[in-house]
Structure 1
Amino acid sequence: MRFLCLYKPADVAKAEQGGPPSPAEMEKMGKYIEEQMKSGALLATEGCAPTRLGAKVRLDKGKVTVTDGPFAEAKEVVAGLAIIQAKSKAEAILGAQDFMKFAGDGEVEIRQLHERVDGECPTEGPTVSAGKSNF
């Protein structure tokens, strides 16, 4: 099973500063990521830029609104994500607990991803034409 893990740090203000981790933190996390990739448990991982560089797109009763960051009301900020491979939700939770030793205070939201079944989903990714996307 694949799971999406969203890391939300406890210190939102620090996360919103957008600075990179220290060289020592990068080395420590880099070794952990390399080990997890080699084992097959970690499929992908990325850090997220601060909300001031982002946008929210909302559809409400047919009306689309776009709000540029920063998002002042944000009490939880996603600072990074990972897609992991695990045999169960319990195994994914153990992996998140292990990750938190490197990431620090905060939380990881774990969401199982739907698995593609042949014939159910298109094989091509999203396309964009005339200002409209085809997800």
Structure 2
Amino acid sequence: MKQNPFPYSWWTKILGLLIITGGIISFFLQHQKKGIFDFNELAAGLSWGLVFIFFSRERTDDEMIRSLKFKALARALIVAFSITHLYNYLFLNWRLKREHDILLSISAYQFLALTLLIATGYFYYLKHQTALNAGE
């Protein structure tokens, strides 16, 4: 018996969307309440929701879908790591006066949210391209 590498059922995408919506609402409520933009809170909601969306099964789950998800995740990891590294290099290595300038390194939640956002978008792009090519 082959075990599916994606542990969540296809309907958990709805749970992921609810978590993302809750994270966005919480982000804006926090801004109204305290007057700050807490991007780590937003990234936490995005990353948890995208985990459920990306790692859930598709309705038609086969070897091709698994291959597309792996390809999307592998490329997204490289792109997100490059973006994170460039951001940290360009903005955190300059001689800033730490008393006045507030620039923070990208957190793990932000990196995970960026990676999963790229992977999810790229997966659905690849899936759409595959469907177009199969229809020709």
TM band (smaller chain): under 0.3
Indicate the structure with greater helix content. 2
Q: Which has the higher contact order (CA 8 A, sep 6+)?
A: 1
Comparing both structures, which one devotes a greater share of its residues to strand? 1
